[in-house]
Amino acid sequence: GGRLPTTWPAALADAPVTRTRPDGGRLGYDEGLHLGHRGWLRHHRTPAYWFGHGLGYTTWLYEELTVPPVTR
């Protein structure tokens, strides 16, 4: 088990940030607050796998679930 430590795009063009090589020894972060998942949300793109996707390290068991009736 385990979960992804990063987000994976379906295609490179989907990635909200493609500048990953320094220019003159510097790499600018022009995204401001739109780093990580915020960049995906800002550009309205859906990755192939989100950060944290995958199986956990434990087993889940749901018992005695109840659903309230829907009133319209």
Helix (H, G, I), strand (E, B) or coil at 14: helix
State residue 12's pLDDT score: 85
Asked if the structure places residue 70 within a domain, the reply is no
Q: Please tell me the distance from the alpha carbon of residue 4 to that of residue 1, in angstroms, as a whole number.
A: 10
Asked if the structure places residue 72 within a domain, the reply is no
pLDDT 10s digits, 10-25: 998 888 876 778 889 8
Asked if the structure places residue 24 within a domain, the reply is no
Asked if the structure places residue 54 within a domain, the reply is yes
Asked if the structure places residue 9 within a domain, the reply is yes
Asked if the structure places residue 65 within a domain, the reply is no
Asked if the structure places residue 69 within a domain, the reply is no
pLDDT 10s digits, 12-60: 888 887 677 888 988 887 777 877 778 888 888 888 998 888 877 777 7
* 1-6 mean pLDDT: 81
Asked if the structure places residue 42 within a domain, the reply is yes
Structural domains counted in the chain = 1
pLDDT above 70 for 1? no
Domain that holds residue 6: 1-17+35-59
Task: Answer whether 0.75 is exceeded by the pTM.
Answer: no
